[in-house]
């Protein structure tokens, strides 16, 4: 019996001596692993969201949505006019020291009220004009296939939307008593801007004001339809006046 107990003690002693020590992971290492896994999950989620956004189709605005936007712009302009009336002595600063830029700086505040129907027509006209960008100037041209001269471009963009057709020439439009004359500081998108380049007392060039001091034009032979800066010295030196076409009474 004593030999049996002695053998049992020897077995237990050898097991403790030769057994491999158990290593325990420190708590900090486990936390780092969990944080890394969390970051990977967040990264994968961001990738999935990005893919989902790419799959969303960009739907163009419907006419009703554009009219709603126009109404919102109208309300915003009305609020701006109220603010301007409350501060009648306020004057905006100069742009680079040039007083000629001052009228264009306040156009959004001084603009007349525009109905949603007129706003929609302005949108159509400007969209139609911008589709012709890059096409050649052609004297006498008035179609996309031919090319355009300055007044031909105006006729093409406007006449289908007006109850009364415009005169064919730039000076004819400028002299048309039924078109409302507007000051430069009151320019709105869609207004015609006239220039006297080769003659002193009549309009021999016309473009369409786009807002933000820009207008679109068919310039001259050898050049393409383009957007120009009304505030440039050249155009200010030759500026003759402006007329408003798009009113409630004029559009179809």
pLDDT tens column, 66-80? 666 776 776 666 666
Question: Are the C-beta atoms of 122 and 246 separated by less than 8 Å?
Answer: yes
- The 10s digit of each residue's pLDDT in 162-215 is 999 999 999 999 999 999 999 999 999 999 999 999 988 899 999 999 999 999
Helical ranges in 191-240 per DSSP H: 233-238
Residues annotated as catalytic are: 150, 205, 217
Which pLDDT value is given to residue 75?
62
Q: Does residue 14 register a pLDDT over 80?
A: no
Question: Are the C-beta atoms of 98 and 232 separated by less than 8 Å?
Answer: no
User: What tokens appear for 167 in the block?
Assistant: 């005169």
Question: Are the C-beta atoms of 203 and 173 separated by less than 8 Å?
Answer: yes
Tell me the C-alpha distance between 169 and 165, whole Å: 12
Mean pLDDT of the chain: 79
* Confidence tier at 8 by pLDDT (50, 70, 90): low
Query: Which domains occur in the chain, in start order?
Result: 115-244 (3.90.1720.10)
Tell me the C-alpha distance between 191 and 107, whole Å: 12
Residues of the chain with pLDDT > 70, as a percent, come to: 63
> Which DSSP letter does residue 179 get?
S
Specify the residue for token string 């949108």: 123
Q: Does residue 106 register a pLDDT over 60?
A: no
- 215 Cβ neighbours under 8 A, 6+ residues apart: 193, 207, 208, 209, 227, 228, 230
- The 10s digit of each residue's pLDDT in 216-247 is 999 999 999 999 999 999 999 999 999 999 99
Cα within 13 Å of Cα(194), Cβ side: 25
Specify the residue for token string 């890394």: 36
The mean pLDDT value for 95-124 works out to 63
pTM of the predicted structure, to 2 decimals:
0.58
């Amino acid at each position: 019996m004593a030999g049996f107990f002695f053998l049992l003690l020897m077995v237990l002693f050898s097991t403790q001596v030769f057994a491999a020590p158990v290593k325990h992971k420190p708590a900090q290492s486990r936390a780092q692993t969990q944080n890394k896994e969390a970051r990977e999950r967040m990264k994968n989620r961001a990738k999935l969201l990005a893919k989902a956004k790419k799959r969303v189709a960009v739907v163009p605005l419907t006419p009703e949505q554009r009219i709603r936007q126009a109404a919102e712009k109208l309300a915003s302009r009305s609020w701006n006019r109220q603010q301007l009336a409350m501060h009648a002595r306020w004057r905006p600063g100069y742009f680079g020291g040039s007083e000629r830029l001052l009228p264009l700086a306040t156009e959004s505040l001084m603009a007349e009220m525009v109905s949603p129907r007129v706003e929609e027509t302005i949108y159509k006209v400007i969209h139609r004009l911008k589709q012709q960008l890059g096409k050649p100037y052609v004297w006498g041209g008035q179609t996309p296939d031919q090319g355009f001269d300055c007044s031909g471009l105006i006729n093409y963009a406007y006449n289908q939307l007006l109850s009364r057709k415009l005169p064919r020439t730039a000076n004819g439009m400028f002299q048309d008593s039924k078109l409302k004359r507007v000051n430069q500081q009151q320019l709105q998108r869609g207004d015609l801007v006239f220039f006297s380049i080769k003659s002193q007392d009549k309009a021999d060039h016309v473009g369409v004001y786009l807002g933000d001091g820009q207008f679109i034009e068919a310039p001259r032979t050898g050049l393409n339809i383009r957007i120009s800066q009304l505030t440039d010295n050249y155009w200010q030196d030759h500026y003759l006046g402006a007329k408003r076409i798009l009113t409630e009474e004029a559009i179809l």
